[in-house]
Each structure stands twice: as structure tokens, then as C-alpha cells.
Structure 1
Amino acid sequence: MLDAKELELDAEETAIVELVRDFVDREVRPVVQELDHGNVYPEKLIDQMKELGIFGLAVPEPWGEVSVSAPCYAAVTEELARGWMSLAGAMGGHTVVAKLLVAYGSAEQKDRYLPRMATGEIRATMALTEPGGGSDLQAMRTTARRDGDDYVVNGSKTWITNARRSQLVALLCRTDPEAQPAHRGISILLVEKGPGFEISRDLPKLGYKGVESCELSFEDFRTPVGNLLGEREGQGFAQMMRGLEIGRIQVACRALGVGRAALEDSLAYAQERESFGKPIWQHQSVGNYLADMATSLTAARQLVMYAARRYESGQRADLEAGMAKLFASETAMKIALDAVRIHGGYGYSTEFDVERYFRDAPLMIVGEGTNEIQRNVIARQLVKRHPVRS
């Protein structure tokens, strides 16, 4: 249903998107129901994603081989999520960390991590959310105290995707708890697992199966001072806000993939299923659902690609990324519900994929900053960009 050429990608990037689409149709869709229902980690699929170079899409030369534009990355994410949203989640935080390293890392940090991140040998995730903080990152309590050539870290994080299987964690923490305003005391540390770093448990979830989301705890965990991202302390909040721009675009693309899968299944079912002597799409109530689903999904994709192009230009894109994430996630949730309506009783059955779409869609509403937070970001940036002239 999506033609990569319509996304205004060049021939090479179009081929990459089509390669991922073929992978999803050939390898993912035949096994996704079994993996999802069993909450099974998709080891084979992740290895195939490594071979395809998907984990290196954000790593440019000389460290990687297949760095792509933000619009191409968005299209690849949508294709993965169309097959199984969890696969797109498996590379989301990894991409944000790669972007952070490229933009802010030292030469030594780039050389140490990026080549192996490009191949997927090293997988990375980011640790932001805390049990009592939610979307309020400036309220975090995890601290990193300087002690000689090390930082000593204490605190906890929650809802950290891929925590068990990632070798590198971009940890947002306070290096100056007394700083005012609070964001000036926040830094990012590039940490690897060791004594004092514990993954306490995997969190049970409604959807987003197969890929783990964990609680982390740090108790006198030591990491070298050289693992500070950037040239000095106190830059982590601004760094992560830039990282979250591509992160929110990525979450919006996951929503596109889920919404698209729900629409495609509904469109096929509505042509095959008959009632009162005709295919159900010919009943106005069902036809109207399909029309609204396709229209809103197309609008969401255009908004997402607009945000991706803005990000690719190097301009600040928090307004655009917030709008894309907000609109696409709400759209996916409505499409998933409408898909259940169209399928009727079968939509409630675990034998059909639409129940999975309905379980997966809410994640994009609350993930990477809730939609209530997105509205705050959007309003704040609108006022900032368009102040009243006195």
C-alpha cells in the first residue's frame, strides 16, 4: 500500500526500504503471531536485521556503511512496525544513542562504539525514565558523583527497552544536584554493565511483546570520567532533547506501521467477508471506516515525513517531531479500534492480528513522552517561534 518512491527517496534509499519490506513479508509476518503470543525474544529476526544493516542506518562513514536520511529511516521503521512493532522498538533507542554519539561524542568514543554499533555487535539503549519521575526528566534523582577518575552512580530507571540485551546504555543523570535551573546539572554517561549495575526485573506489558522493558538500579556503580558524553558536564539535558527528536519521529513511524497493518488487514477482510449478500465494504458504515482510516493514515504519514525532513535539514525539530508523534499515535489507536469493529467478533480473537495491533498501539501514546507532554512541547515551541510583537 506504500510506494517508497512516493516518499521522495533516491534510488538507493528506495531499494533499502523495499529490502526491509521484503524481509517483513518473507520472514516476520509468518512467525509474528507465535512470537508475540509466546512473548518470545526474536533472536533469529534480530540477527537478520543485523545482517541487513538496520542497526547501522544512523551511523555514517567512516564508522558505518549504510547511513541513510531521516526520511528513509522513517520509512524503514514503518515497514518493520508493519510486521511487528516490537522489531521497530528493538532499534529505536539504539538509533538515538548512535545519533548522540555522532553529534556529541569524543573521537575516542566514536571510534570505540560506532563501528560495532553499525553491525549490531554492540546494541545500545537509553535510560531516562525513573519510577517516580515519568515524563518530568528534570525531576530525576539518579546521581553521578565525581570520585577521582570515576563517576559513582546511584539511582534507578524504569521502562528501559532492550536493557538485558544492550551492551551500552546512555544514562541520563545528575552530575550536579545543586544546579539551578535543574537541567544545567544533568549529564549523559555512556555506561556498560558491571558491579553495582543491576537489571532487577522485566516489566509485564499489555503489548510490545518479545522485547524486554526493564527496571535498572545503580548502587555505587563506577564508570570512568571519560564516559561522559560531550566536552563538559551539564549538557546532557539539551543533548537528550535533540536525541528525542529522532526518537519521537521513530515512535511516530511505529504508529504508522501499526496503523497501516490494521488498515491493510481490514481492507482485505472487508472485501472477503460478506453479509446480507454483498462484501461488507459495500455497507456504508464499513466503507466509511475504511475511508477515514486511509485518510487519517495518509495525513499522519505526511506529518511524520515533514518532521523527518525538518530534522534532516539540521534545524530544531522538537515542534514538528512532537506533532508527528502526537497525531500518528492517536491515529494508530483509532485505526486499530476501527479494525476491531470491522472484523467484528474475529477482531476480538487472538487468531487474528488485529487484536495485537490494538494491544500495541497504546505504547506510542505514552512512550517517548506522553501525548499530554507532547501538547505542552508543541504549545511552548509555538509561542517561542511566534512571540507577540510589542
Structure 2
Amino acid sequence: MTTVASAPQSGTPNTVSAGDTPEVDDEDLRAILAQTREFIRTAVVPREQEIADADEIPADLRAQAKAMGLFGFAIPQRWGGLGLDLAQDVELAMELGYTTLALRSMFGTNNGIAGQVLVGFGTEAQKVRWLERIASGEVVASFALTESGAGSDPAGLRTAAVRDGEDWVITGDKRFITNAPVADLFVVFARTRPADDSGPGIAVFLVPAGRPGLSVGVKDRKMGQEGSWTADVHFDGVRVPGDALVGGSEDVGFRAAMTSLARGRVHIAAMAVGQAQRALDESVEYAATATQGGTPVGDFQLVQAMLADQQTGVMAGRALVRDAAAKWVSGEDRRIAPSSAKLFCTEMVGKVADLAVQVHGGTGYMRDVPVERIYRDVRLLRLYEGTSEIQRLIIGRGLVRRARSVR
């Protein structure tokens, strides 16, 4: 595959910040989406079983993704990325979501929750050091937030960072960290003081892999998403210099985490729509060709009803994702809308995947059948970057606060 779009060299003036206005016009976006769709459907889809069996993305597919700019699609062009805003990002995510979710996971943190911390909150020196290499795929970034006692609620963090002269010393454990086994850079959230009236006391640090005291556990064995690697990460007195503190401020961490997670929720919702579309397409194809007692399965009205429910869910999810992304870009709503999109779309794709297995009957329960893999893969979407329960709390609390604020 050829590169989907060429980005300006470093030094090109950056007139926008992430998530404000697009750096890519409609014509270029159409080209990016078309080439991504071709890559996904002709190069990746035929090798999904290979990826699942090996629990790894093949090196040639990784190289193609790098050449296409996919490791930096949401990184501003100033730093070598494609510069998609969130409204454009979700269109790409719906294409990426059509295949195994492990592919997107390979470069998801570079563009999303890890990369956006640097884009939105890093110092100029930190951006110069890391962002171009993140956008090119030379550096794989990991977002090290989750702990055994602090998952959807970062306020419960126990990993500690203590100042020692000009340095910081980090001690603690992280869980379920995506790309940890291959990460070159860990974006690490740690508590520098107890929460008080001035803030939650959470800072974020840039910790290169290989630092003394930093170790990565064995790859997690998960229900699904083979090829997407996660692992525990341990920090045993890991020393980093003062300039590793993102934004140069101890008070940046919690806000950086919340902002990056909220943006990422819209992206995850779009991924869910793409996966739901794939499950629907597999269901329609099976219903149109498979027979029961000599009659095509799709001629049975109850099967048609299941297809109708799938189609309705996909269309509703797509509309909601686009609306939430537009509200993010305009600044109208960067809290309730992202959580609403993630809640609906990740729950929706679970129902669509379940119906896909049902349409396939016993065949849908067999390994090596796409809908069986999809059924397992999408279950995780309701858990990471904030569970469905957390999204409901954010939405409900936000609505009450909004009502009180207008009185």
C-alpha cells in the first residue's frame, strides 16, 4: 500500500490544537478512507485467522500500517501525523473496526489515550522529543493508568512518584496495559500527594522502556482480541529526570487522563460501529446463502427480524458517533456526549454480535468462524476506557449538574 497522505515536515506551523479544526480537507479524507478500506478488506480480513492463531499482527501488515500513516492519524501534521480531528478520526475508526480489533490496538494508543496526553498537555520539548517518532511508529507508546484498585476511577491510584532532588522516583504496579510488551514509552500516571482542596494530586510522567526498576510481566491471556497484547507493568523505584513530568506540572495528570479518555471513548464507539457492521454483513451473507430444509435461512421471518434489529443498531450507533464527534470538535460537549456514544455503541455491538451468532446457528459457535471471534472480541469494549456503569454515572451526574447550572 502507498502512503494515504503526506504530512508536512517538522517545523510546519501548527495553527490548530488536537480536536479543534481539521488539517485534512474533504478530498484528502476521502482518499485516506478509501485506501484504508482497501487495506482492511483486501490485506487484513483474509488474514484474520492467521492473526488469531499466532496471537500477533504479521510484520508485513505492521509495515503497511506505518507506511500509510496509521500510527499517527490523529497526531497533528506539525509532528508528522495526518492531523485528523475527531470527526474525521471516527470515520477512519469505523473502517478500522471492520476487522480484528487487534490491528487498531497496535497503533491505537499512539493516536489516542497516550499520544493525546502529549499533544494536549506536553511541553514543547516533550513534543519535539517524542511526537514525530510516535506518529511514524518508530516509538510505541503505552498508557499506564489502570491498577488493580484503580480502573475506571483514576482517583484511586496508588502508584506513587516522590521527588528526589531534580528527579522523580516512581513506585507501583499497573495492570492490563495495552502494548506493554512492545512499548518504547510508558505514559505513567502516579500520585505525588494525597488529594486535597487544590486537586487530586495525580501527575503524569514519560518513562522510556528499559529504565532500571521498570519491568513488564508476561502477556495476559484474554478471552479474545488475540494479537492485541496487554501485560502488567511494575515500577520499583524507577528514577526519571524532572523534565519527564508532562506539562512541567504536578497538577496536569488527572485532567490529562480525563480529557484523553473522554476523546478516546468516541473513538471506541466508532470502532464498535465498524465491528457491528462486520457482524451484520456476515449475518446477511449467511442468511442469504445458507439453507435449512432446502429454504434459505434468510427467508424465515424471525431471522429477518434479527437482521432488522442489527441494522437498526448499526445505523443508530453510526449517527450517534458522528454527532458526539461533532460536539467534541465544536467544544459543545466533551463529557456527556462521549460517554453516551461509548455506552450505546459498545452495548449495541454486543447485541449485534450475539444476534450474529444466533443467525448462524451452531455454525456461529465454531472457532474459525468470524462471528464467533467477533462475539468474544467485542465483550472487552464495554470494560476498557471506562465501563458501561461508569459511563452511566458520568451521563447521569452530568445531566443533573447541567440542570442546576441553568437555574
TM-score band, normalised by shorter chain: over 0.9
Q: Are 2:24 and 1:24 equivalent residues in the alignment?
A: no
Q: Is contact 2:74–2:81 with CA below 8 Å preserved after alignment?
A: no
Q: Are 2:94 and 1:82 equivalent residues in the alignment?
A: no
Alignment of 1:29-178 (within 5 A): 29-95=45-111, 96-176=113-193, 178=194
Report what 1:242 is aligned to. Answer: 259
Q: How far off is 1:388 after superposition?
A: 7.1
Aligned equivalent of 1:253, options 241, 260, 270: 270
Q: How far off is 1:244 after superposition?
A: 0.7
Report what 1:386 is aligned to. Answer: 403
Amino acid at match of 2:71: F
Report what 1:5 is aligned to. Answer: none
Provide the identity percentage.
36
Q: How far off is 1:278 after superposition?
A: 2.9
Residues 166 and 314 from structure 1, CA distance in 2 versus in 1: closer, same or farther, beyond 3 angstroms?
farther
Amino acid at match of 2:229: E
Deviations 1:349-371 (A, max 9, x none): 11311100001011101111110
Q: Is contact 1:151–1:225 with CA below 8 Å preserved after alignment?
A: yes
Q: How far off is 1:15 after superposition?
A: 1.3
Secondary structure, in 3 states, of the residue corresponding to 2:246?
coil
Distance, in Å, in 1 between the alignment partners of 2:358 and 2:197 is: 49
TM-score (norm 2): 0.90
Distance, in Å, in 1 between the alignment partners of 2:150 and 2:116 is: 25
Q: Are 2:195 and 1:186 equivalent residues in the alignment?
A: no
Report what 2:18 is aligned to. Answer: none
Secondary structure, in 3 states, of the residue corresponding to 1:83?
coil
Question: Which range is displaced more, 166-175 or 62-71?
Answer: 62-71
Residues 133 and 303 from structure 1, CA distance in 2 versus in 1: closer, same or farther, beyond 3 angstroms?
same
Residues 237 and 315 from structure 1, CA distance in 2 versus in 1: closer, same or farther, beyond 3 angstroms?
farther
Q: How far off is 1:302 after superposition?
A: 0.9
Aligned equivalent of 2:239, options 216, 219, 222: 222
Distance, in Å, in 2 between the alignment partners of 1:294 and 1:367 is: 25
TM-score (norm 1): 0.94
Unaligned runs of 5+ in 2: 1-24
What is the RMSD of the two structures over their aligned residues, measured on CA atoms?
Answer: 1.6
Q: Is contact 2:159–2:171 with CA below 8 Å preserved after alignment?
A: yes
Distance, in Å, in 2 between the alignment partners of 1:308 and 1:339 is: 28
Distance, in Å, in 2 between the alignment partners of 1:204 and 1:181 is: 41
Deviations 1:181-240 (A, max 9, x none): 595300111111211011022111000111211101100101111011114212211111
Aligned equivalent of 1:205, options 199, 208, 222: 222
Q: Is contact 1:144–1:175 with CA below 8 Å preserved after alignment?
A: yes
Residues 165 and 320 from structure 1, CA distance in 2 versus in 1: closer, same or farther, beyond 3 angstroms?
same
Secondary structure, in 3 states, of the residue corresponding to 1:62?
helix
Q: Is contact 1:252–1:325 with CA below 8 Å preserved after alignment?
A: yes
Deviations 1:329-378 (A, max 9, x none): 11100111100000011101113111000010111011111100010011
Q: Is contact 2:57–2:102 with CA below 8 Å preserved after alignment?
A: no
